Amino acid sequence: MSDDLYREVILDHFKNPRHKGTLELCDIEAAGANPFCGDEIKVTVKIEGGAISGLRIAPQGCAISQASASMMADALEGKSLDLVDSRIAHFRAMMLGSDGGTGAWLDEMEDLKSLEGVKKYPVRVKCALLAWNTLTEGLKEFRQKGAAGKVASEHIEKSGQDD
C-alpha cells in the first residue's frame, strides 16, 4: 500500500470508528491515557465462554490513536482470549520490533498494516499502542480478579468445612 492509501485507511477509521461506545454490562472497564499527545480511551469488554463477546471503545484524541482503537475492536471482538493475547503480542511486535509483523493474520488485516507506517514517527507509536495497552491492562486485572475470586471461594469452602 502507498503512504496515501495508508493515510486514507487511518482517516476512514478515525471518521467512522467501528465498535464505538461503552457496554453497560461488562467484565472489563479500562481507561488509558497518552500524556505525550493528549489521547484518552475507555475500553469496555464483555467476556463469555473464554472469548471476547463484546468490545466497545470510547476514544478521544488524535486520528492515529482513535483509528488504532477502531481497528483493534475489529480485530479482537468475537475472538478467544488466547487468540486475543497472541494478536496483541503480534501487533506490539509490528509496532515496536524491527522485523515487522510476525502474525499471518496481520496480512489478512490490511487496515492494521496501515499503522506500520506510523513507526517512522516514534512519538506516534504511543498513540497507536494506547488502545492495545489499555485493553492489556484490563485483561490483566480481569484475570487477577478471577484468580482472587477463586481463592476467596476456596477459602469460604474450607472455612465451611472447619465448622
Complex with Zn ion: residue 90 or 126, whichever CB lies closer: 126
Alpha helices in the chain (DSSP H): 3-15, 63-76, 81-96, 104-108, 110-113, 122-162
- CB 39 to Zn ion: min, Å: 4
Please, what is the minimum distance in Å from the beta carbon of residue 156 to Zn ion?
46
Residue number with CB closer to Zn ion (15 or 155): 15
Q: Which cell numbers in the block locate residue 29?
A: 472497564
* Euclidean distance between CA atoms 67 and 64, whole angstroms: 5
Closest approach of Zn ion to the CB of residue 138, in Å: 20
- CB count in 10 Å sphere of residue 136: 19
Taking a C-beta distance cutoff of 8 angstroms, is the pair 41, 31 a contact? yes
Measured from the CB of residue 94, what is the shortest distance to Zn ion in angstroms? 18
For Zn ion, the closer CB: 62 or 94: 62
CB-based contacts of 83-89 (< 8 A; 24+ apart in sequence): 84/52, 84/139, 85/139, 88/132, 88/135, 88/136
37 vs 81, beta carbon nearer Zn ion: 37
Provide the minimum distance between the beta carbon of 14 and Zn ion in the complex, in angstroms, as a whole number. Answer: 11
Residues that bind Zn ion (CB under 5 A): 37, 39, 62, 65, 127
The interaxial angle of helices 122-162 and 63-76, nearest 10 deg, is 50
Question: Which one, 47 or 67, has the nearer CB to Zn ion?
Answer: 67
